[in-house]
Structure 1
Amino acid sequence: MRSTSFRCFFGLLGWLLLVPGALTAVAASWLLATSLHLVGDTRSAKGRVVAHESVVTGSSSRQAHGKKSVVEFVASDGRTVRFTDSLVRQLQAVHDVGDTVTVRYPANSPSQAEISSSNTLKIFLGAVWLLCSAVGMAAGWLLLRLRPRVPA
């Protein structure tokens, strides 16, 4: 009887680690693939920081002031595109006004552009997330494999 309860516990714990680990590994892989521009037709161009946008982040009790870079570039179809980068830096922007930056954008939607250096954080988080998912899946698989055997 005791062996059966351990078997059920290890089996449940194994599945609780294995299934969410596999799902988060898929999500982390997608984050890495999009950050590394392995998905879709991605173009790059040189852009110029033309302004900064002030933003307030955080909850109402702990607000922080930050700045985002506003960048202008010419897309491959000749259109001039202006976008605000998604990366917020407290008190100061990442890039100064007038700086030249490399911009990456989907060929079919240049308005969804990003400064390519902003992807470094996404790549790091995606890699850490994928590593944690792999550890969870391995632990779940081990728990399922090492469950006590049911006596015959």
Structure 2
Amino acid sequence: MAKKTAGWLMVLVGTLILALSTWYALEAIRFISVTESTVGEIIDHKFTGGLNTGTREVGSYQTKTTAMYAPIVSFKTSTGATVRFQANWSEGDPPPVGSTVSVRYPVQNPQKGRISGITSLFGGAAIILLIGAVFAGAGILIIRK
């Protein structure tokens, strides 16, 4: 009986996480529908912290810290104003300075611009979707046993 309760709890948590991923995806779609598109340039990178990774070998454990950087993007709005923003993601090997990227921005608030790649807009929703699916799926498996 306790196993089934735990299974139902996991299904509930998974369903809530799936709902969150749906909201996140819909928010990205809404953002796309109310923004303009242009081309921007990566002008700098901002250090955002380190990502610790570890490797385990027989008898030892080694950690390595990878520096993470968020691209700083500059673009011109349809009115000719120059705007800069920091991307909402970071990575250890960011695109090089001088690279061009597609940008979407709200006309009324261009500082809220985002790099408009599929990963930038929908990556968070996809990760949350996977987590929710794992929770719900594990809960269903527990209930069925």
Q: Which amino acid aligns with 2:94?
A: A
Deviation at 1:78, TM superposition (A): 4.0
Q: Which amino acid aligns with 1:113?
A: G
Q: What is the SS of the residue equivalent to 2:29?
A: coil
Q: Mind listing any 5+ residue stretches in structure 1 that lack a counterpart?
A: 1-5, 148-152
Identify the match of residue 13 of structure 1 among 6, 13, 28: 6
Which deviations, in whole Å up to 9, do the C-alpha atoms of 1:28-65 show, x marking residues without a partner?
1123333xx31241322111222233443247x96543
Q: Give me the whole-angstrom Cα distance separating, in 2, the residues matched to 1:58 and 1:72.
A: 26
Query: Aligned residue for 1:109?
Result: 109
CA contact (8 A) 1:31 1:122 kept: no
State the TM-score, normalizing by the size of structure 1.
0.64
Q: Which has the larger radius of gyration?
A: 1
| 1:38 paired to 2:29 | yes
* Deviation larger for 50-59 or 23-32: 50-59
Q: What is the aligned-residue identity percentage?
A: 29
Query: Aligned residue for 2:55?
Result: none
Query: Aligned residue for 2:94?
Result: 93
CA contact (8 A) 2:51 2:68 kept: no
Which deviations, in whole Å up to 9, do the C-alpha atoms of 1:11-41 show, x marking residues without a partner?
412321221111101111123333xx31241
Q: Which amino acid aligns with 1:105?
A: Y
Q: Give me the whole-angstrom Cα distance separating, in 2, the residues matched to 1:98 and 1:18.
A: 47
Deviation at 1:84, TM superposition (A): 1.6
Query: Aligned residue for 1:83?
Result: 85
CA contact (8 A) 1:49 1:98 kept: yes
RMSD of aligned residue pairs (Cα, Å): 3.2
**Higher strand share goes to which structure?**
2
Q: Give me the whole-angstrom Cα distance separating, in 2, the residues matched to 1:138 and 1:53.
A: 38
CA contact (8 A) 2:37 2:103 kept: yes
Q: Which amino acid aligns with 1:100?
A: T
Cα 1:15/1:64, change in 2 over 3 Å: same
Q: Mind listing any 5+ residue stretches in structure 2 that lack a counterpart?
A: 53-62
Deviation at 1:98, TM superposition (A): 2.3
Q: Count the aligned residue pairs.
A: 133
Q: Give me the whole-angstrom Cα distance separating, in 2, the residues matched to 1:131 and 1:86.
A: 20
| 1:57 paired to 2:50 | yes
Cα 1:65/1:143, change in 2 over 3 Å: closer
Query: Aligned residue for 2:70?
Result: 68
